[in-house]
A and B are shown apart, each in its own frame.
Chain A
Amino acid sequence: MTRLIKSEDDEMNRILSRKEEILPSSGFAASVMDAVRREAAAPPPIPFPWKRALPVLVAGGFVLVMVFVTLVVAIVQVIKSSATAQFSTSLPSMLAPIFGLQGLQGLQRNLVGAAGWSVLALLVAFISVKLSMRLAASRV
């Protein structure tokens, strides 16, 4: 079996080692040198304006962190309020107005709605950034 594989490999080596040389066309070197001269004559690429972009990037990062923190706080409040609501519903119904059960449920609905929208907005932003980065990378 090993001998068989060895002989097949030898045959493959023999076939694939055979050079099929192609010669460069006569104007190739001149054409490359033209392109190189154009490259040398072109102004250097404009560097990325880090000085201007940095404050914007920092501000953007800060906003992103704030949104994240707000989201986390909102979720924690929703969890807490739902726990309170469960506790309240276990009390006799006559006590409900004292604890403001309906108010709590309304707040819970609002917070859940806001959290959902925030998550959706973050998701849309993330997808659009990813897509644009992929698009830019494929064009480089």
Chain B
Amino acid sequence: MSASDDQSDVGRVLAGDISAFEGIVRRWQGPLINLAYRFCHDRGRAEEMAQEAFIRAYRALAQWRKDAVFSTWLFALATNLYRSELRRIPASTVPLEDVPEPRDARPSDGGLEDHDRDVTVRRAVGALPAKYREALILFYFHDMDVSTAARSLGLPEGTVKARLSRGREILRSKLPQLLAVPRLKEA
């Protein structure tokens, strides 16, 4: 995905060639749908939210200042939309207190089945208060890059770091057994 492709497509769209927007959609549909999916865990809803994000991007295309990379602007716009959509109609999540611990943290092979553990941790992330959940989602979506996550959320890096730390702290306190498994394995 090249930034110059985005720039040239935006230029063409702003000049009146609507079909050039398809290039932008094709390049960014995967990331935008996947980001939406991380927020709502519902494939259909993720596509609806991503479609709305593209339409809003089309409407606001002239507001993109070229000093920022197009993808940064697009992700910030999409993140903002997803957050407000989720505030309007929250995704169905289990309360943090009700996130089930895995049946046995140490099955016969001494480790927890990866899938069970992944599902439990993801559910626990989904049940976090919105500000910690959003910071964690964006941080891991952007390959653990705090500054990109902060730009997408429109927050200072320090705030995102603090929210990540607090979010992790809550997860550690709720899932101690689960996250301690590798140490038990090593022991």
Contacts and interface: CB of A to CB of B under 8 A. Distances in A.
B21 interface: yes
Interface string A15-49: 11111111111001101110111011000000000
Given A12-B171, A22-B46, A138-B88, A32 B182 contact: no
Interface stretch (A3-11, A81-89, A100-108): A3-11
B68 to A, nearest CB: 22
Interface residues of A, number: 31
B64 interface: no
A28 B33 contact: yes
Contacts of B25: 29, 32-33, 36
Q: How large is the interface on B (under 10, 10 to 19, 20 to 34, 35 or more residues)?
A: 35 or more
A13 interface: yes
DSSP majority for the B interface? Answer: helix
B38 to A, nearest CB: 8
B131 interface: no
A24 B47 contact: yes
Given A8-B179, A15-B118, A15-B121, A36 B144 contact: no
Nearest to B43: A22
Contacts of B181: 11
DSSP majority for the A interface? Answer: helix
B30 A31 contact: no
B168 A9 contact: yes
B58 A36 contact: yes
A12 B179 contact: yes
Interface string B37-65: 10000010011001100110011000000
Interface of B: 18-19, 21-22, 25-26, 29-30, 33-34, 37, 43, 46-47, 50-51, 54-55, 58-59, 88, 117-118, 121-122, 125, 136, 140, 143-144, 168, 171-172, 179-183
Interface of A: 4-5, 7-13, 15-25, 28-29, 31-33, 35-37, 39-40, 138
